[in-house]
Every structure is written in C-alpha cells, then in structure tokens.
Amino acid sequence: MNGVEMKGITKTFGHVIANQKIDFDLKYGEIHALLGENGAGKSTLMNILYGLYRPDSGTIFIQGQKCDFRSPFDAIRAGIGMVHQHFMLIPGQTVWENMILGLNDIPQILPKPEIKRQIQELSEKYCLQIDPMSFVWQLSIGEQQRVAILQMLYRKAKLLILDEPTAVLTHQESQNLFKMLTRMAKEGYGIIFISHKLDEVMSLSHRITILRKGEKVGSVLTSETTKEKLAEMMMGQKFVFSIQKQPISAGSLVFDIQNLRVRGDRGFQVIRDLSLQIYRGEVLGLAGVAGNGQQELCEALSGLRRIESGTIKINQQELANRPPRHFIKKGLRYIPADRRGVGLIPNMMVDENAILKKYWKDPISKGSFINWREVDRYANHLVRKFDITVPHVRFPVKNLSGGNLQKLMLGRELSDSPQVILAMHPTWGLDVAATKFVREQILKKRDQGAAVLLISEDIEELVSLSDRLAVICKGEIMGVIDKPQEITPEVLGLMMAGTPLKNIQKVSA
C-alpha cells in the first residue's frame, strides 16, 4: 500500500527550476532512497512533502487521500516526520524542550520527568545516547544529529524522511541506525532515505529514485543496479571513484600542539593534556566518536576558544589564546563542520562571504573602504576555480545547496598558500562528485606543503587521505598510527572506545 504518492511536482525559485514534474511514491514497509548531486532538487522535493514549501503545481496523496500541506504542522498531523540535513533545532533550548516543540497534546504543566524518561528510553532503544537536559548549543554536530532523529521518533511519525542522517555519525552509529531503520520498515514504517553515500544506499534501500538538475532520471530496484550505474545516472556520465594520492616525505614541523587543556561550555575539562605534531606536506587524521572533544579542539586551535594550559605553535611561533586573526595571519585556515553557523554568514552575499578572511587586506581594502570592484573580481575567480553553481556573486548564501556552500568555504580557505589546514568533516553531506573534489583539493594543498589536520568520523575518508592517524577519546589521544591503511577495524574500535594503542600492542605482542 502506498503511504505517499507525489504526482507532477513542480517548484521554481525565480528563474531557477528546482523540481520539474516529478513523480515519487513511498510504500509502507519499504526504504526508498533518493539520490542526486547537490542541487538536484532532493531536499526541495522533500520540503514540499513536509509542508515547508508549497508546490507551484502537482498533487500529494497520503494513503490515497489528497493533501494540501500549508505548514509542517499539517505534515506532522498526517504522520510525516523529517530530519533535515541542517537541523531545525532551537540552540537556546534543551534537548527535552526541542522534543516537544510544535506538539498540541502537551498539558499546561509540563510533565518534565515523564518526558525525560521517554527520551532516555528512546535513546537506549536506538543507541542514540544524549542528555535530555543539555542545551542544543552545547552539543557537537554529531550529537545534534542524534537529537533530530530522536525528535522524529518521539513524535511517532509513520512516514519518515531522513536527509543525510549518517553524515556525521561514526561507522558503528551508522550501523546501529541502519538496524533501527530496517527494523522499523519491517514494523510497517515508510522511510525516505536521502544520502550521497552510495554504499549506504545499496546496503539499506529497497528502491532508489535518481534526480538530476531538478528532473527525475528514473527509479530502480536496488537489487537490480550497481554503484557505478547509480553514479552515472546521477551525473549523466561515467564516474571514477578513486583519487590519486602521491607518496610524500614529510618536511619540517609546522603545527606543534603540546599538553593542551581546554574546558567546554559547561565548565568541564574536555581536552586533557593533548599533544599532536603535524609536519609540512602531511595529512594527520583524527578519528573518534562525536562529542569526545573534537569541536572544542578545533575552536582552541583556531583561536575561537581559550585554553586552560598548553601551547599551540605554527612554525615555532606561540599562538595560544591569541585572537583568531593572529592564527589567520600565521597561515591557519579553518574549515568548520557547521558551514552555516560558523563557516559562512547565510544572510550575506557570496562575494561578502568570500572576503571574510581578507577584507582588511590590500587590494580588497583601500584604507577604511572596501574596494568592491576587486571584491567582485576575487569572488568571481573563486566561483570559476571551485566550480560553485550560483547565478551571480551578489546571491544570498542561504539559498545555496550544501555542496556549493562547502565549495565556497573551501575556496575562501584554500585560495592562497596556507601553512596549516584545520578541516572538520569537510565532505559532510556532499555528493560523490563534490566529495571527490574536496578531497582532491585537500591533497593538492598537502602536496604543496601544507600541514593538514583532518577531523572526520568517516573512517574510509580518514584511511584514504591520512598519512598518519590519531584517535581521540574523552579529550585524550589514544595513540597515533603511522600506517592507517594497515589498521584493523577491531583495533580502531578499541581505541575509539578508550583503549590506548600501547595497551593493545602489549596484548598482541
């Protein structure tokens, strides 16, 4: 039985056609994957189903009944839940408060203990541990993802839309999520799964629908296709997945971090005596489960968070507790995980975001004034060089797709000759082509002599890009692996769970 049927859905934004006469359906008890490059129209189509957008034309049926959703509230009442790629959470409220937002059956006197108990039960049942009393702004991106998933489960939706749900989950967390989704499908839930990770789609889904440039290319049974065929349908041409990584001989020490101690937003110490050394022309990967100090470490290493003790040196020059501009002047470039909240300013234009790290420099700045002609030239240069799809550089950043947001931020950070690149989840939510492009750009800068600290929860990404691999757990380094390609999942899992590498080596010796 069809749970959802969308017929002839068309949506335009000005002169841009986001969806062109798209047909899509979802049956109860199945996982239907939605594939397409960034900007192909997937999120727009699902936002229409969820009531965030209204289609210009087309019809939506739920269990055979025609529906006209005027808001997400209408969709929620119809049993539809959506986890967005960029989470729709209120940072200033707690986890439990976010859970009940928009519900109309909550009593005037909130039964907080009961709500907390229900959240904790869901957390344990689906292996998505979270503290209900935490404020959302205190959580890492990965932890916020867990909250968004739990929010949907708490509202007991029967038709579920998940937009890149595993983008910032570890391999183990993703596997737990897949088990949960498979079980839910067997229980009669209908699940729409949007992902750029073709391996996930092939292992999880029953059917796959592919969009390209706002149009439906086709729908296929997962059992009757291959990853290569899907990539070709997405891009309209054959695609080579592998990237070329040149062997390196690391140079002098560039980024020297010694005995670092950092406190989190709640006042607890989250980084404990952490030391790392990154050399010229190498990528040092940092693996770990979300919420083990990665975010606070990045903030400390970019000047955004004060440290309690320790040293941070770039080319032997101490920078600890200096303002962010000092880090920028010494050649550090930061690619944060939260591109909308930290990396870019959504309400500003493309050209304004392009100069955020150099608006005070000549020729962008002439005395106290901005040289807008030079800004226009520079922004258009980035657009061409990094293949950013945008109508013009005076276009609002908030209207860009996830892939183009990342390319804009990447272009801004890598357009010159950085000494240190601090990259956290640089391919989060990107399609296969954009992911390959970002990884190639990072390796290109590494080959030009930059020292790269790559923080990711994508183990395949870490192993393929890293020259050495460190593992963090509860703010401490469990060890550094000199040959990441030779590490076993068992050893990596033990380290991520808190077992130091030296202890593992003792046992195996």
Mean pLDDT in order along the chain per 10 residues (509 residues): 89 86 95 86 91 94 91 89 82 88 72 84 80 86 80 85 75 76 89 86 94 92 91 75 74 95 91 96 91 92 95 96 94 90 91 92 87 94 88 89 85 91 86 82 93 89 92 94 87 88 78
Strands annotated E in 213-268: 215-221, 253-263
Q: Is 320 strand, coil or helix?
A: coil
Residue 478 Cα to chain centre, angstroms? 25
Count other Cβ atoms within 10 Å, centred on residue 508.
7
Q: Write down the residue that tokens 């296969």 correspond to.
A: 432
Give the CATH number of domain 242-331+419-509. Answer: 3.40.50.300
Judging by DSSP bridges, how do beta strands 369-370 and 207-212 pair with one another?
A: unpaired
Tokens 């209408």 appear where?
74
Q: For 332-372, where are the E strands, in sequence order?
A: 332-335, 365-366, 369-370
Place of tokens 């509860």: 474
Distance CA 491, CA 509 (A): 14
Supply 234's token pair. 């997405």
pTM over 0.75: no
**Per residue, what are the HEC states of 390-447?**
CCCCCCEHHHCCHHHHHHHHHHHHHCCCCCEEEEECCCCCCCHHHHHHHHHHHHHHHH
With CA atoms as reference, report the closest residue to 281 among 436, 417, 409, 457.
Answer: 417
- Asked if residue 363 has a cis previous peptide bond (ω within 30° of 0), the answer is yes
- For residue 212, the SS3 value is strand
Conformational region of residue 188, where left means phi above 0, alpha means psi within -120 to 50, and beta covers everything else = left
205 and 222 Cβ atoms separated by less than 8 Å:
yes
CA distance 455 to 436: 17
Counting Cα atoms < 13 Å in the Cβ hemisphere of 127 gives 13
Amino acid 175 reads Q
Place of tokens 């796959």: 208
Q: Which residue has the tokens 């990965």?
A: 142
* Confidence (pLDDT) at 1: 65
The topology under which CATH files domain 2-235 is Rossmann fold (3.40.50)
| Contact by Cβ (8 Å): 471, 276 | no
The reply to whether 2-235 and 242-331+419-509 are identical in fold is: yes
Q: What's the pLDDT at 200?
A: 86
How many CB atoms within 10 Å of residue 13? 11
On the CB side of 95, CA atoms within 13 Å amount to 27
344 backbone dihedrals φ, ψ, rounded to 5°: -135, 165
Residues near 164 by Cβ (< 8 Å), separated by ≥ 6? 85, 194, 195, 196, 402, 428, 429
Q: Where are the domains of the chain?
A: 2-235, 242-331+419-509, 340-417
Specify the pLDDT at position 241: 58
Phi then psi for 413, rounded to 5 degrees?
A: -80, -30
